[in-house]
Structure 1
Amino acid sequence: MEVLMIEDNEAVCEMMAMFFEKEEWHANFKYDGKEGLDAFTENNTKWDMIILDLNLPSMDGMQVCREIRKQSQIVPIIMLTARDSESDQVIGLEIGADEYVTKPFSPLTLMARIKALYRRSKVDHTQKVAEEDFDVVTEHVKISTMTREAYLDGQQIESLTPKEFELFALLAQHPKQVFSREHLLTRIWEDPYFGDERTIDAHIKKLRQKIEAVGPQVIQTVWGVGYKFDDSGVEDK
């Protein structure tokens, strides 16, 4: 773990350094608010944990916390303070601190808080990343245009060609909206398209076969008009 501890009491830092070393964590200590913020800003994706004192020279912990949160919404922050004031705790949490530890504190207690917060933050971040990986999400379908992967109820729809993927993504982005063959051709191929509109039918047929290999059909024909995506009738597994 990479820990940045911003604390002006050197004795506290020396004490915590021993505990961090025992866990084989890499810790960087700053004794000034501005210096601590600069250390974070220099590489704001490096840190796994911020331990932040409230009372600091040059820039107090509240200001540092605000500035850190402008750069990162996910780095865990534990705020330390000698004040035992509920209002301070509320303000600290409101501006982005995740935990609040009042001095004097037991190093073992702080270590336990750090470990618990780190575990929780990793779970939260993993879930967030998992959700953000998919830019098309419906009740049963998830599609990533970055990785060009599509899933139906957690099962990957394999071997989609570029045009099949683009057709599927476009339809899924607009559930229940009916697209004519002409519209699909101009959106997925080029405008104007001089080929046969039935090329859409051929691609839809292959796309449906690959969808049906993993689950129920979600591409529907609207006779005389075109096609639409609709997974509202798919039963939950």
Structure 2
Amino acid sequence: MKKKVLVVDDEPSISMLIEFNLKLVGFEVQCVYDGEAVFDVIGQFRPDIIVLDLMLPKMDGLQVCRKLRSQNNLVPIIMLTAMQDLSDKIAGLDNGADDYMTKPFSPQELISRIQAIIRRIQTLPASGEEAPITIGQLSIRPDQREVTCAGKPVDLTPKEFELLVFLCKHRGKVLSRQQLLHGVWDYHFLGDSRIVDVHISHLRDKIEANARTPEYIMTIRNVGYKLTEPAIKESFA
């Protein structure tokens, strides 16, 4: 069965270019041209992934992301932005996008990123295949995609969850940003490591008692990150 891509861009020339190239490699594609139209078609079309422009009429890309995530719709999203400003890219990730690309972009690279995300989804373990993971006060149930910290549920995006599980499976090992891009985003080319840094920052905000002095996810300067077991704090009478 063909995988479905919903393309959301108000520039018909860009939409047509993306649609043409995606269909060449076997995707089913539907294009809409404003943010509100996403919610008119998503229930019937049921895309496997959304390619979403940041600047849209009626409802911009950030608003679309926020609304989808508020509805617990976890469909992967690649945000397109014509802006080079890092803050715009981070804003997309902050609002639930899985990845971003800056216009102008190569259709072949967009296809590679779409295929990478879909491969990740297809290779996720089926329910019941993975045992729970416990590190310090963190408890992760990969089969249920649930995380608790000190007994309280932690609300993670799909990509944050995958990143945390990957770090846990390689606990104690220093992982470079490129290793994380390869392992979590399935990038087999040189990717933008800021995607990793933003997701690490989000994870720390959600699982660390103090994100400025993390106990779980350590920064290894000039290299990458390492997940460690927090030291047991002694209490004195």
Q: What TM-score does the superposition give when structure 2 sets the normalisation length?
A: 0.51
Counterpart-to-counterpart distance in 2, 1:30 and 1:112: 22
Q: Residue 88 of structure 1: CA displacement? A: 1.1
Indicate how the Cα distance of structure 1 residues 16 and 70 shifts in structure 2: closer, same or farther if over 3 A, else same. Answer: same
Partner of 2:9: 7
In the other structure, the counterpart of 1:23 is 25
Deviation string, structure 1 residues 67-119 (Cα, Å, up to 9, x no partner): 11123453110000101111111111111100100001111111111111211
Q: SS of the counterpart of 2:104?
A: coil
Matched positions, count? 134
What's the TM-score once normalised by structure 1's chain length? Answer: 0.51
SS at match of 2:79: strand
Gaps of 5+ in 1: 145-237
Mapping for residues 37-52 of structure 1, pairs under 5 Å = 37-40=39-42, 42-43=43-44, 46-52=46-52
Q: How much does 1:4 deviate?
A: 0.6
1:55 is displaced (CA, Å) by 0.2
SS in structure 1 of the partner of residue 52 of structure 2: strand
For 2:58, the equivalent position in structure 1 comes to 58
Match of 1:118 in 2: 118
* Counterpart contact for 2:79–2:92, Cα < 8 Å: yes
- Describe the shift of the 1:137–1:103 C-alpha distance in structure 2 as closer, same or farther (beyond 3 A): closer
Aligned pairs for 1:49-88 within 5 A: 49-88=49-88
Deviations 1:31-87 (A, max 9, x none): 0110123222x248x211100000000000000011111234531100001011111
Describe the SS at the equivalent of 1:74: coil
Alpha-carbon distance between aligned partners in 2 of 1:138 and 1:61, rounded to the nearest angstrom: 35
Task: Give the percent of matched residue pairs that are identical in Structure 1 and Structure 2.
Answer: 38
In the TM superposition, residue 138 of structure 1 has moved relative to its aligned partner by 9.9
For the 8 Å contact 1:74–1:121, the answer to whether it is kept is: no
1:33 aligns with 2:45: no
- 2:127 pairs with 1:130: yes
Alignment match, 1:97: 97
Tell me the secondary structure at the aligned position of residue 29 of structure 1: strand
Q: Could you tell me how far apart the structure 1 residues matched to 2:75 and 2:39 are?
A: 13
| Distance of 1:78 and 1:137 partners within structure 2 | 30
Compared CA separation, residues 138 and 48, structure 1 to 2 (3 A): closer
- Tell me, what secondary structure is at the counterpart of 2:127? helix
- CA separation of 1:137/1:39 partners in 2, compared to 1, >3 Å: closer, same or farther? same
**Counterpart position of 2:185:** none
Q: Which of 1 and 2 has greater Rg?
A: 1
Which whole-Å CA distance do the structure 2 matches of 1:34 and 1:102 have between them? 22
> Given that residues 76 and 121 in structure 1 are in contact (C-alpha distance below 8 angstroms), is that contact kept between their aligned partners in structure 2?
no
Query: Which segments of 5 or more consecutive residues in structure 2 lack a partner in the other structure?
Result: 135-142, 144-237
Alpha-carbon distance in 2 for matches of 1:90, 1:48: 23
Q: What RMSD over aligned residues (CA atoms) do the two structures have, in Å?
A: 2.7
Aligned residue identity for 1:56: L
Task: Give the 4+ runs in structure 1 shifted more than 4 A.
Answer: 136-139
